[in-house]
């Protein structure tokens, strides 16, 4: 008699303890979210940076001889050195880089920091990466869907996206998400379905992403 094989269903794990991030390493989990609250000093810096109204799009490749190595963030938000909280913000970014590197045993990490006044990827999609760290320091967080909220075969088709707001999950500012993509071994066809939200008129978001390069 043949055993009935049930289809694999991806799940998402959220929690207020940082240890929740390690859940992303488990089979069947395509999203782990640490629902943290930003320290006021860091949140104030992010708000102050956005209030300047200046464009910001910084990218860097970080080489880490060891997972616990201090990343070289020279030049990151250097133009905002006069804003209160800049040192605390940089320390937090460095801490996230080290945590990400330790979890994945990563030696090269791609960092992107952007101030956005519109949705960068407005359609629901999956990423073709192993696992990406996503966090908004200010403004709206990313949208994501539980499995089954939208047929994967319909990704990229605006008319097929869910219209019921109850089906659309959203990260808050400060939340740290680890989202598996299609290139995580064993996660093919199960990458997290997500999108960039459209910020409210007159508002922007400060978005940090980390990618495992090697």
pLDDT in tens, 67-105: 788 999 999 999 999 999 999 999 999 999 999 999 999
Residue with tokens 């707001």: 165
User: What are 131's strand-pairing partners?
Assistant: 180
DSSP codes of every residue in 57-109:
EEEEEEE-SSTTSPP--TTTTGGGTTSTTHHHHHHHHHHHHHHHHHHHT-SEE
Q: Is the pLDDT of residue 147 over 70?
A: yes
pLDDT band at 148 (very low <50, low <70, confident <90, very high): confident
Q: What is the phi/psi pair of residue 7, to 5°?
A: -65, 145
pLDDT in tens, 98-141: 999 999 999 999 999 999 998 777 889 999 999 999 999 999 99
The stretch 7-12 carries a mean pLDDT of 77
Residue 193, judged by CB atoms within 10 A of its CB (0-12, 13-18, 19+), counts as buried
Residue with tokens 């680890």: 178
pLDDT in tens, 14-63: 999 999 999 999 999 999 999 999 999 999 999 999 999 999 999 999 99
Q: Is the pLDDT of residue 207 over 50?
A: yes
Strands of the chain, DSSP E: 11-15, 29-34, 57-63, 108-116, 131-138, 143-145, 168-170, 176-180, 194-195, 205-212
Going along the chain from its start, the domains and CATH numbers come out as 11-212 (2.60.120.10)
- The answer to whether residues 126 and 181 touch, using CB atoms and an 8 Å cutoff, is yes
Count the Cβ atoms, other than its own, within 10 Å of residue 149: 16
From 210, 35, 17, select the one nearest 111 (Cα to Cα): 210
């Amino acid at each position: 008699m043949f055993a009935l094989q049930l289809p694999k269903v991806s799940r998402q794990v959220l929690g207020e303890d940082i240890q929740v991030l390690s859940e992303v390493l488990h089979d069947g989990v395509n999203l782990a979210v640490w629902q943290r609250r930003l320290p006021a000093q860091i949140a104030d810096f992010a708000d102050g940076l956005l209030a300047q109204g200046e464009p910001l799009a910084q990218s860097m490749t970080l080489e880490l001889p060891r997972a616990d190595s201090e990343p070289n963030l020279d030049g990151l938000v250097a133009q905002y050195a006069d804003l209160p909280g800049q040192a605390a913000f940089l320390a937090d970014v460095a801490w996230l880089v080290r945590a990400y590197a330790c979890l994945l045993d990563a030696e090269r990490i791609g960092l992107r920091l952007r101030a956005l006044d519109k949705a960068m990827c407005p359609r629901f999609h999956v990423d073709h990466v192993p696992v990406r760290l996503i966090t908004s320091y200010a403004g709206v967080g990313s949208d994501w869907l539980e499995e089954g909220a939208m047929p994967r075969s319909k990704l990229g088709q605006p008319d097929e996206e869910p219209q019921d707001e109850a089906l659309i999950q959203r990260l808050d500012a400060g939340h740290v998400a680890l989202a598996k993509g299609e290139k995580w071994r064993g996660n093919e066809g199960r990458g997290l379905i997500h999108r960039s939200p459209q910020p409210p008129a007159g508002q922007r978001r400060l978005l940090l992403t980390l990618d495992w390069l090697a």
